[in-house]
């Protein structure tokens, strides 16, 4: 368990009780285990002689719940949740969303157009690279990767409705 940044006694009193990262993550695991056990109720657990499809998931959910509980119980000295810095989270979320849009577009407008548009967004909009470089990298990567993977390695990649 992480023991970084353990506040001294006086400091702890000044700050008051603070949520610890392991306490939060442990309880989240317990909640997840409870959810899985709840979802699992539709599958027959069977008997010990003949375990059903719900048997092992229930066993693992119970194990996860137990581990989550242990993590939360012994997590009092882990890092305070508020001390975890998330400076890259906004940018990371933007990256994930852009990838989500690309995933949505992939089978609709084809691999090449999707990748070119995605790279234009990342390089031109997010990273503000020079337009010429953006165009060269985006178009070059989109076409060359399609040629290597789609044509040379014969991996079927989605095409746009216009055949491109």
Partner 1 sequence: MPDSTLQNLLLGFSVALDPSILVYAFAGCIIGTLVGMMPGLGPLAGISLLLPATFGLNPIVAVVLLAGVYYGAMYGGSTTSILVRIPGEAASVMTCIDGYEMTKKGRAGPALAIAAIGSFVAGTVGVIGLMLLAPTLAAFALRFGPPEYTALLVMGLFILAYMSGGSTIKTLASAALGLLLGMIGIDVMSGYTRFNFDIVELGDGVGIVPVAVGLFGISEILLSAGQNAAPAVQNPRLRDLVPSREEFRLSTGPILRGSLLGFLIGIIPGSAHIISSFVSYGIERRLAREPERFGKGAIEGVAGPESANNAAATGAFVPMMALGIPTSPVTAVMIAAIMVHGISPGPLLISQQPELFWGFVASMYVGNVVLLILNLPLVGLFVNLLRIPYSYLYPCILAFCILGTYSVANSMIDVWIMLIMGGVGYVLRKLEYDLAPVALGLVLAPMLELSLRQSLAMSAGDYGIFLERPIATTMFALGVVLFLFALKPVVFRKGRDWRKNVGLEQQES
Residues that bind partner 1 (CB under 8 A): 1-2, 4, 21-22, 24-25, 29, 32, 36, 39-40, 43-44, 47-57, 60-61, 63-64, 67-68, 70-71, 74, 78-79, 84, 86-88, 91-92, 95-96, 99-100, 102-103, 106-107, 111, 115, 118-119, 122-123, 127, 129, 133, 137, 141, 145, 149, 153-158
CB of 19 to partner 1, least distance (A): 12
When the beta carbons of 14 and 86 are compared against partner 1, the nearer one is: 86
For residue 48, how many C-alpha atoms fall within 13 Å in the half-sphere facing its CB? 0
Q: Are 1 and 26 in contact (CB under 8 A)?
A: no
How far is the C-alpha of 114 from the C-alpha of 102, rounded, in Å?
6
CA 20, CA 79: separation in Å to the nearest integer? 6
| Minimum separation from the CB atom of position 161 to partner 1 (A) | 16
Name the residue nearer to partner 1 (CB basis): 14 or 48. 48
Q: How many CB atoms lie within 10 A of CB 150?
A: 16
C-beta of 14 vs 90, nearer to partner 1? 90
Choose between 14 and 47: whose C-beta lies nearer to partner 1.
Answer: 47
Q: String of b and e for 57-76 (b: at least 16 CB within 10 Å)?
A: ebeebeebbeebeebbeebe
């Amino acid at each position: 368990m992480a023991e970084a940044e353990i506040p001294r006694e006086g400091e702890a009193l000044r700050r008051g009780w603070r949520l610890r990262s392991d306490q939060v993550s442990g309880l989240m695991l317990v909640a997840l285990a409870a959810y899985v056990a709840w979802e699992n109720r539709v599958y027959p657990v069977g008997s010990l002689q003949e375990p059903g499809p719900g048997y092992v998931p229930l066993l693992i959910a119970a194990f996860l719940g137990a581990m989550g509980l242990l993590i939360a119980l012994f997590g009092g000295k882990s890092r305070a949740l508020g001390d975890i810095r998330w400076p890259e989270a906004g940018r990371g979320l933007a990256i994930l969303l852009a990838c989500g849009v690309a995933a949505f577009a992939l089978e609709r407008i084809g691999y090449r157009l999707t990748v070119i548009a995605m790279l234009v967004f990342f390089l031109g909009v997010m990273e503000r690279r020079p337009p010429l470089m953006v165009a060269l990298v985006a178009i070059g990567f989109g076409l060359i990767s399609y040629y290597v993977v789609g044509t040379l390695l014969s991996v079927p990649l989605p095409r746009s409705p216009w055949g491109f």
